[in-house]
Structure 1
């Protein structure tokens, strides 16, 4: 009774404060304002989300948004920032919960708010509390002024005697009022990631989600763009760009209501996940990160700069070029083969040799993908000297050594399965279904988390000098039952992902300088929560340079080039080694190709291209990126990078499949200093070939390059050019 009286008194005080002075909560970057308001009913609503308002006094004119209604009794239906099921709102809620007495409602009232400084920004925390039940939700917002990015998440806890059943748990709700809305989503499949498609949102709901549990983004990536008023464009128009930090099941809901307003709800997918929240347990939703920008190019640069500064592991550090053995050997190798490849890596000029799948398992050797997962001991037949001998060979060759692991997975043919069959996610009384001949380890189990962590720890402790991990995840969750959770299966999808993050966090804390590649059967893991602990991710198993142009174009909307791994392989032999290398060079460069398959000129070209990439890596990896010509709108593609001081720039241009006598236009570079002069030089030329660039080795103003441009496109398929711009003093 005392608890209810306190809440009622607080609500009355809140209403009195509102009458005296409008209570606004301002969350701002240098370009965007998100204005929240405590309404007369004591609840919090969104008053404004858009371009930053210049005058503080103008905020007093904002009103909390209400839904027009013919019935005056529902006038208080508004843009509630934490709308819950069971209240007077008619549309999709952020939260749904069932109390022990069967009541499915929650009405959340403002209690307090606070502001504190965090690295790079300002964090605002807003405490809300139910007036009938001991339930509270805290809303968190971090605004990064310089990068124009806002990050938001929520926490819920309660003091009820019995568990609170959660069936929806969104990170936030954002509201928009615009004449029209156009969604761009990123979907596909293995080897066909981030295919972009757009549609106009009409009345009702559009849902993008995944139910795969692990390798969750195999069919749809966890980010989107919404054009406000017109379809998204690179340099024009208001656009919302958002992504969720969750490597498991996620859901984006876009709902246009009866009067044409849009609500955007990012969340964990509640599919098969009615979560029993215990007393005093805190349920934390994933971080949702968004930017409002003028065009997608500006929004991408916001995300890329923010990631390098605050979210990506070692975001300001360098990246190693590498040679991977997979395309050379697959599972079939021995110490001598690898030793020779390490020498090739040094001869090529890369920094590291990466040993891929197939190096482990003894009772059940990893000679194919049917056995060995879980048994992380070097195979004595292939590698009698173990991993430490390979590291010694690498050092003798003059390169670093990295290794592939898939520690969250298990093959039925493994010693681990014999010892711990209860560690695998699978039904107790049905025939087991295997995806790629493997099962997913139950990461909701703390013992399994300790084991997975120990895989990395043991390799690191026993093999001094191990410099890199490629961490794979090839299977979604199948046979969806946790032996550990028993009668609490509603927690599986959520606690499994929390377990994965817990291990990643432990590894990163123990080995803060260790670079790691995030991989998941290609590009099915690419979220900004995991990237707190990984330096980069593998975009796709598809390394065909034509397909990679589209894949890398798509991922570039949300990720910096230094986070995106791209390798030169033998895929698509219709494309020259130059074309394949130039495509990979627009990201974090690697090779997975046998030098013996290259001609003398091709090998010399690759060495030169690697040298150029290393020399210009600070521009490519840390510079501002400008997407110039879209492969979705042309038979060509172009992108350029500009250093922070604008003294250096690099342009990548590709002719994909031009049509006969197709008219092409000059490419206008972006981001240069219009008042400075730049030397124009084509690099990455094949030995003996001369540049056909008309302005090669000439000096011209940044103004000219941005307004008139360069003729870099041709009429032949699978041609490329790389151009360096250097400011002249």
Structure 2
């Protein structure tokens, strides 16, 4: 077992063990004679707890502290009220509670022997999903303030100095780009200092393995994801032949310590972000399935709620529209058969009308010239056409050309004695300020009170923090990034408490906020502003490792020169939507799109809740294929894409997975135009699950930018 490790340091073999286990994995700690808590095992759940034994010669701390005897990167470093910068933690107690038939919570309480300073390591073990969620609660009972200089959510030990990291890089338009490489000796970090839009340059999710992984469903893999919408730091410290630590890897994940020293007052506590992780010997595919099962029930807002298909007006109108224009677009939504019409940017502000992105942001009153009868009129007209209505907001931001900017200059984040650093001609509001929190909550609340029929909101965020300074926080600016994120969560908690049924999309110039700290308040996210389906295949592939299909919004747009079928087939593999000019579409294209929407709605439970198996990777070939199968292994859907054709192309066989080998499956190609013949030459044939998972299917797409969708039904 690559992640199984144990320690022998002449302790009593009957020393107390603390086992945090799921059905298939276990993280085990032990308390030594000096009351130090150490990690002794992480790997497959063993039948006999006595099997978690100590075989290595090095102590591996459960939560390393700085300034004392541990000399590497610590999980926690503080300055005590008396100025002492050393910290040691001794074991006090544990508490184990069974929250329900599936979840067991463990709390391990530690204390500095010399100070009234406490650390509580919390764990929730989700048995069936094989997911562990952990976070740290830090308590200051000293007589003065304690400065938290760094405070990680998790500290994990892995044996050996050979570890491969899979990470997901990105930027605007190229989000979630997967890469795998050998971690170097020393310290490697994935981090963000952007303040907001914090995963713009890379997700706060990753995987580790001892070997480079070529088979999706083989190999021992660790997968982890930090649930935090602010600056983060994922540290990987590798040691080769270290005299104190041997050969090992330390993984330390949490809030980025950069400009984040947090003053913890006496009698106060601080809770770190949650870190979600899993261990499996079923490869990267099983990491994904574990995360998806957990997320649908625990990680996203109302994960089992049916998602609405939609038509967005953005590419049809941009900022140029009036209420008649929009009402006419409702007909397009009706023709496509989608559930909802989404009004994007440009509907607000009067003194400085939102006619472009240079003005009006922050002034969230309806533009009377564009929308004479207000939002309620649009909601009513949409209902008359039997569709729902949604609206775009960006409540955390402000244009200098706005009434909000003029009236509340103290609400802005901008450094004194520095020029304004505008990005997208806007600045960030100061969510550390309770008055600003009230204002941002009011943006949602006012819209919902004035137009209670609004069914959907797209919450956007289009710039990062630069030259940040909070007037509200005064001279102590160190924890600004942290308190901004806490303020955001305070607002979102209020929104969800009052409007639990409102469907919300998380957007940040695309996927720059895709992590489980924010997703606990949202049903779905906008994956990328880049909607070219060729690029989207890789983007959506990357996200799929940690986020289920029902969260990934995929829209059919005018981007790219591919066929409409190719665009529909790519969009259908996640949460389907449209951003097109329906009036410019031919009647045949409209009918074809409507049929695809009907197929999607029929198969939506399978796509949204089925087990995902990635079959042919676009990162390794010029093709891609993935499939979803239901829990009874009765129905499945397979997506196949040919990206491009080269002269010396070797086409991969499609080896299916997750089927019942004893069942027989009838295969049918869907999403075909009325006049088109199936591309899959074996359409209608019946094969055993065993055959499909051993021999597979011959590759059958031989032209660039072609696609196909197959359904499988057990007979």
Q: TM-score range by the shorter chain?
A: over 0.9
In 1, the alpha carbon distance for the partners of 2:679 and 2:133 equals 47
Unaligned ranges ≥5, structure 2: 1-10
Asked if the contact 1:184/1:196 (under 8 Å) is kept, the reply is: yes
1:269 partnered with 2:251: no
1:540-593 per-position Cα deviation (integer Å, ceiling 9, x unaligned): 1100001100000000000000011110000012x0011011001000000001
Q: Which one of 197, 204, 207 corresponds to residue 225 of structure 1?
A: 207
Q: CA deviation at 1:20?
A: 9.0
In 2, the alpha carbon distance for the partners of 1:354 and 1:438 equals 23
Q: Which one of 80, 85, 89 corresponds to residue 108 of structure 1?
A: 89
Q: CA deviation at 1:231?
A: 4.4
In 2, the alpha carbon distance for the partners of 1:528 and 1:232 equals 27
In 1, the alpha carbon distance for the partners of 2:700 and 2:233 equals 40
Q: Which one of 29, 39, 52 corresponds to residue 45 of structure 2?
A: 52
Q: CA deviation at 1:428?
A: 2.2
Asked if the contact 1:601/1:687 (under 8 Å) is kept, the reply is: no
> Which moved further from structure 2: 599-608 or 577-586?
599-608
In 1, the alpha carbon distance for the partners of 2:665 and 2:408 equals 64
In 1, the alpha carbon distance for the partners of 2:141 and 2:629 equals 54
Asked if the contact 1:538/1:566 (under 8 Å) is kept, the reply is: yes
SS in 2 for 1:460: helix
Per the alignment, residue 8 of structure 2 pairs with none
Alignment of 1:315-714 (within 5 A): 315-573=303-561, 575-660=562-647, 662-714=649-701
1:148-182 per-position Cα deviation (integer Å, ceiling 9, x unaligned): 11110001111222211111100010101136101
Asked if the contact 2:679/2:701 (under 8 Å) is kept, the reply is: no
In 2, the alpha carbon distance for the partners of 1:704 and 1:618 equals 26
1:653-705 per-position Cα deviation (integer Å, ceiling 9, x unaligned): 00001212523133122111111121110000123100031210122222222
Asked if the contact 1:653/1:720 (under 8 Å) is kept, the reply is: yes
Q: CA deviation at 1:336?
A: 1.1
Alignment of 1:309-320 (within 5 A): 309-320=297-308
Asked if the contact 1:435/1:478 (under 8 Å) is kept, the reply is: no
Tell me how many residue pairs correspond in the alignment: 698
In 2, the alpha carbon distance for the partners of 1:507 and 1:712 equals 48
Q: CA deviation at 1:97?
A: 0.4
1:70-105 per-position Cα deviation (integer Å, ceiling 9, x unaligned): xxxxxxxx2111111022122110001012322111
Asked if the contact 1:213/1:248 (under 8 Å) is kept, the reply is: yes
1:131 partnered with 2:123: no
SS in 2 for 1:141: strand
Per the alignment, residue 3 of structure 2 pairs with none
SS in 2 for 1:89: coil
Q: CA deviation at 1:201?
A: 1.1
| Cα gap change, 1:98 to 1:278, in 2 (>3 Å) | same
Asked if the contact 1:669/1:705 (under 8 Å) is kept, the reply is: yes
1:95 partnered with 2:95: no
Q: CA deviation at 1:223?
A: 0.6
Alignment of 1:291-310 (within 5 A): 291-294=278-281, 295-310=283-298
Show structure 1 runs of 4+ deviating over 4 A.
none
SS in 1 for 2:455: strand
In 2, the alpha carbon distance for the partners of 1:520 and 1:606 equals 28
Per the alignment, residue 62 of structure 1 pairs with 54
In 2, the alpha carbon distance for the partners of 1:250 and 1:179 equals 24
SS in 1 for 2:484: helix
> Which moved further from structure 2: 692-701 or 517-526?
692-701
TM-score of the aligned structures, taking structure 2 as reference length: 0.96
Q: CA deviation at 1:277?
A: 1.1
In 2, the alpha carbon distance for the partners of 1:595 and 1:211 equals 41
Q: Which one of 27, 30, 34 corresponds to residue 41 of structure 1?
A: 34
1:204-227 per-position Cα deviation (integer Å, ceiling 9, x unaligned): 000110000011111111111111
Per the alignment, residue 3 of structure 1 pairs with none
Asked if the contact 2:651/2:699 (under 8 Å) is kept, the reply is: no
Asked if the contact 1:181/1:231 (under 8 Å) is kept, the reply is: no
SS in 2 for 1:490: coil
Q: Which one of 65, 77, 99 corresponds to residue 118 of structure 1?
A: 99
Q: CA deviation at 1:424?
A: 0.7
SS in 2 for 1:437: coil
| Cα gap change, 1:80 to 1:319, in 2 (>3 Å) | same
| Cα gap change, 1:700 to 1:390, in 2 (>3 Å) | same
SS in 2 for 1:489: coil
1:252-290 per-position Cα deviation (integer Å, ceiling 9, x unaligned): 000012232001000100101111111111111100001
1:357-385 per-position Cα deviation (integer Å, ceiling 9, x unaligned): 01001001111111111111111111011
In 1, the alpha carbon distance for the partners of 2:65 and 2:372 equals 61
Alignment of 1:212-291 (within 5 A): 212-231=194-213, 233-257=215-239, 258=242, 259-291=246-278
Per the alignment, residue 31 of structure 1 pairs with 24
In 2, the alpha carbon distance for the partners of 1:479 and 1:661 equals 52
> Which moved further from structure 2: 665-674 or 502-511?
665-674
In 2, the alpha carbon distance for the partners of 1:480 and 1:183 equals 33
State the superposition RMSD in angstroms.
1.3
> Which moved further from structure 2: 319-328 or 307-316?
307-316
| Cα gap change, 1:520 to 1:688, in 2 (>3 Å) | same
Per the alignment, residue 6 of structure 2 pairs with none
In 2, the alpha carbon distance for the partners of 1:475 and 1:281 equals 33
Q: Which one of 135, 151, 154 corresponds to residue 153 of structure 1?
A: 135
Per the alignment, residue 6 of structure 1 pairs with none
